[in-house]
Amino acid sequence: MALKIGMIGTNFISDDFCEAASQVSGAELYAIYSRKQETGGAFAAKHGIPRVYTDYDEFLDSGLDAVYVASPNSAHCSQTLKALNRKKHVLCEKVIAVNEREVLSMIDSARENNVILLEAMRPDFDPAYDLIEKNLPRIGKLRRASFEFCQYSSRYDSFREGVIQNAFDPALGNAAVMDIGVYCIHSLVRLFGAPKNVKAISTKLSNGFDGSGIVLMEYDDMTAEAVYSKIAVSVTPSVLQGEDGSIIIDYISKPESISLRLREGSRDTLAGGRTEKLPYTPVKNNMTFEIQEFLRLVENKEVDHKYLKYSLDTIRILDEVKRQAGIRF
């Protein structure tokens, strides 16, 4: 029997979700909730969703099994808690909530109601990261990781013209570190766990919005950095540097190319200094992997899964970043 999924949010990420869900067996796009009937109706017609609601209680009582939350960050916790307390499974877009207190309340509610709570963090589920982990021993003792995600936002054009859209409004719990920097931080946590120290620097816009920044993460025998921006674009890949070589990742949230470069003198079969492209075939929309895992967790009733720790460790780092950098919502 298909899992009936109700959706909150009609932005571009919701379009991507619908496209991905259509490719996953066992997922049914059942309903859409929107504050405006016209917006919800247009989105439903576009994706063949049969039910549109403007009342959240009616939406939750419509017969759906699970909710995909893609509203502004500031609404994630309240909407998720209400769904969990109605015994609905929840797949919540990143960042899962705006602080540790909210995340803990969401995890507690999922446990109390025996339902699945999962953060829709793409790198957690993309096979590319399994491939990266598998090849880490080939580069020897890891000494440095630099994960970079700098993507100029189309909405920044409006900001520069004096129009502040939701994506650049800190009142909605938005910040570049919460929007795209989190991909870097969360992926580092997934690979290496929580760091022992964090140092953060932020570049703010005129309205106090965190536009770009750097987060340094200290581990026992290596350092890691998360470099992020919504106001500039970067052509620099992400790199894992070991004593015997490096792994190079082209795009941190949706890897399309992963390469291994060994230093000269390595005992590997590769000639010194030559680059090998690791055997990974990317998919057009890697949200399919998170939906597949969500369905698996629901089917197996794995309420206490490993991804909750990744989300909790990440939000604790984000809270410290906000504290140090003076990022306020």
Cβ atoms of 325 and 201 within 8 Å: the answer is yes
Is the per-residue pLDDT at 329 higher than 90? no
Scanning the chain, the segments in alpha helix (DSSP H) are 12-21, 37-47, 56-60, 73-85, 100-113, 127-135, 155-160, 176, 182-192, 287-300, 307-325
- Average pLDDT of the segment spanning 112-121: 98
- Spatial neighbors of 277 by CB under 8 A, at least 6 apart, are 257, 258, 259, 260
- Average pLDDT of the segment spanning 212-229: 98
C-alpha closest to that of 188 among 255, 259, 242, 238:
238
pLDDT band of 235, cuts 50, 70, 90: confident
Distance CA 239, CA 254 (A): 15
Q: CA dist 82 to 36, 86, 109, 174, Å? A: 20, 6, 9, 22
Structure tokens at 176: 């570049």
What's the DSSP call for residue 203?
E
21-25, 35-39, 233-237, 288-292: segment of lowest average pLDDT: 233-237
- Average pLDDT of the segment spanning 71-93: 97
Where residue 130 falls (left for φ over 0; alpha for ψ -120 to 50; beta otherwise) is: alpha
Q: How many CB atoms lie within 10 A of CB 243?
A: 11
Cβ atoms of 237 and 248 within 8 Å: the answer is yes
- Average pLDDT of the segment spanning 55-67: 98
Specify the pLDDT at position 23. Answer: 96
Average pLDDT, rounded, for the chain? 94
Distance CA 17, CA 278 (A): 28
How many angstroms separate the first and last alpha carbons of the chain?
Answer: 42
Q: Which domains does the chain have, with CATH numbers?
A: 3-121+287-303 (3.40.50.720), 124-282+316-325 (3.30.360.10)
pLDDT tens-digit readout, 249-280 = 999 999 999 999 988 654 443 334 457 888 88
What's the DSSP call for residue 138?
G
Is the per-residue pLDDT at 191 higher than 80? yes
Distance CA 155, CA 153 (A): 5
Is the per-residue pLDDT at 166 higher than 70? yes
Specify the pLDDT at position 268. Answer: 41
Is the per-residue pLDDT at 197 higher than 80? yes
Can the peptide bond before residue 95 be classed as cis, meaning omega within 30 degrees of 0?
Answer: yes
C-alpha closest to that of 311 among 52, 117, 65:
117
C-alpha closest to that of 118 among 94, 101, 98:
94
Q: Would you call 91 helix, strand, or coil by DSSP? A: strand
Specify the pLDDT at position 269. Answer: 37
Percent of the chain at pLDDT exceeding 90: 89
pLDDT band of 281, cuts 50, 70, 90: confident
Specify the pLDDT at position 270. Answer: 35
24-38, 66-80, 185-199, 249-263: segment of lowest average pLDDT: 249-263
- Spatial neighbors of 157 by CB under 8 A, at least 6 apart, are none
SS3 content of the chain, % helix, strand, coil (to 5): 40, 25, 35
For Cα atoms 262, 266, 272, give the angle at the middle one, nearest 5 degrees: 60
Q: How many CB atoms lie within 10 A of CB 153?
A: 20
Specify the pLDDT at position 264. Answer: 66
- Spatial neighbors of 12 by CB under 8 A, at least 6 apart, are none
Is the per-residue pLDDT at 115 higher than 80? yes
